[in-house]
Amino acid sequence: MNPIHINYTCNGHQTVSDCIKELIEISYNIYDEIIKSNIPTTLVCGGQSPSYFCLAMMNFDIYNSDQCDIIILPHSKGGEISTDQTKENKEYCERLKDKNIIFKSNVIILDGVHTGTGINALSSAIQYYNTKLQIHKYAINVDYLISKIPVTKTYIVKSEPLFSDTFPRIIKSFKPNEFTQSSKFITQFINMDDNPIANMIIDLSKLYLKINLDDTLWIKLNHVVTDEINKNKIIYDEQQNKLRIQKNNRRIKFKPNIKINSFKYKVYECPECLSCSGTSAVKNPYDTSLFSHNLYCKNKYSIPCE
Ligand SMILES: [Zn+2]
């Protein structure tokens, strides 16, 4: 497909080009780290959220299936916890056997991780198929707070929701009530021909680090900065700046305002965001989790000191 302008209006601070460049850069970092570990690995793409990332990886010139192959294993839980995990595992393993899926001894499941139900169920099914595998979970999320389960690694991708929920699906969903139906287990990308997002990712991934992607027609045509994006970008940059200051102020001391609460105990008030602590922050000022501030307050991780 020749480069075209993709008709999609972003509502965040990034243009379509920004989002796709972000996806390509992170995908490269993830895959490059795996390759450099020198541990033969199978990367599992378990559904739509990681699919465009995996598509990028498979088109980099560093892609080497001997060191790290990528396999697509649709497994769609929709956040629902299994009533019978063993039954689901048995049924899913039949599908893996149908396709003669072979894993390298180190397995990484890449996915957007929220409740963790989906990635845990897929991990459980793969482990059931081969109990000897070392399975790791890598999350691609918009921030560190999203995942409710422990994961091996988290990669922060601001545009992640676009690739998982908004852009066209390239992986067919496969729900537990379909696990017994072999014909519905599709382990390839779908509908790629008329999908400009997929074509843009393929073309740019092939060129990544060889030329400056900003010079490509794909990027030029899709870097459309609307007034809305401009406004959001200013807000986003301000927030990032506040977070940077917050991080730099970690563990330094600040002078709190001293207040007396309604039970006549001493508490602290933050002079910046005016949030009030409880009494335990006064007793343990070094435990910053006891004093909650506004999200962007520069004192969030600082130590109150009278
Ligand atoms: Zn504060």
Distance from C-alpha of 102 to C-alpha of 90, rounded to nearest angstrom? 17
CATH of residue 178: 3.40.50
pLDDT tens track for 222-264:
999 999 999 999 999 999 999 999 999 999 999 999 999 999 9
71 forms bridges with which residues in the sheet?
44
Could you tell me the distance, in angstroms and rounded to a whole number, from the CA of residue 251 to the centre of ligand 1? 14
| pTM over cut 0.75 | yes
Could you tell me the distance, in angstroms and rounded to a whole number, from the CA of residue 65 to the centre of ligand 1? 50
Over residues 183-195, the mean pLDDT reads 95
For 78: left if phi > 0, alpha if psi spans -120 to 50, otherwise beta; the answer is: left
**Where do the H-state alpha helices sit in 38-59?**
51-59
Residues listed for the chain: 306
Res. 18: pLDDT tops 90: yes
pLDDT band at 93 (very low <50, low <70, confident <90, very high): very high
Could you tell me the distance, in angstroms and rounded to a whole number, from the CA of residue 156 to the centre of ligand 1? 25
Q: Which of 222, 238, 271 is the last residue of a domain?
A: 222
Could you tell me the distance, in angstroms and rounded to a whole number, from the CA of residue 274 to the centre of ligand 1? 6
Residue 140 sits in the same domain as residue 75: yes
Q: Is 21 exposed, middle or buried (0-12, 13-18, 19+ CB in 10 A)?
A: buried
Contact yes or no for 173/76 (Cβ under 8 A): yes
Residue 176 sits in the same domain as residue 262: no
Over residues 35-54, the mean pLDDT reads 96
Tell me whether residue 240 is in a domain. Answer: no
Tell me whether residue 70 is in a domain. Answer: yes
Res. 12: pLDDT tops 90: no
Could you tell me the distance, in angstroms and rounded to a whole number, from the CA of residue 239 to the centre of ligand 1? 15
Structure confidence at residue 144 (pLDDT): 84
Residue 260 sits in the same domain as residue 189: no
Over residues 216-226, the mean pLDDT reads 95
Distance from C-alpha of 244 to C-alpha of 216, rounded to nearest angstrom? 32
Over residues 66-88, the mean pLDDT reads 89
Residue 183 sits in the same domain as residue 270: no
Residue 294 sits in the same domain as residue 162: no
Nearby residues for ligand 1 (ion, Cβ within 5 Å): 270, 272-273, 293, 297, 299
Could you tell me the distance, in angstroms and rounded to a whole number, from the CA of residue 223 to the centre of ligand 1? 37
Res. 78: pLDDT tops 90: no
Tell me whether residue 3 is in a domain. Answer: no
Distance from C-alpha of 94 to C-alpha of 174, rounded to nearest angstrom? 14
Residue 293 sits in the same domain as residue 152: no
Res. 80: pLDDT tops 80: no
Expressed as residue numbers, the domain containing 295 is: 249-304
Tell me whether residue 239 is in a domain. Answer: no
Residue 47 sits in the same domain as residue 154: yes
Total domains present in the chain? 2
Contact yes or no for 81/117 (Cβ under 8 A): yes
Could you tell me the distance, in angstroms and rounded to a whole number, from the CA of residue 275 to the centre of ligand 1? 6
Of residues 132 and 143, which shows the higher confidence score?
A: 132
Structure confidence at residue 192 (pLDDT): 94
Q: Which of 222, 237, 269 is the last residue of a domain?
A: 222
Structure confidence at residue 75 (pLDDT): 93
Res. 73: pLDDT tops 80: yes
Residue 57 sits in the same domain as residue 162: yes
* 3 state SS of 268: strand
Q: How far apart are the first and last CA of the chain?
A: 65
Residue 198 sits in the same domain as residue 256: no
Distance from C-alpha of 118 to C-alpha of 186, rounded to nearest angstrom? 18
Pairing of strands 257-260, 266-269: antiparallel
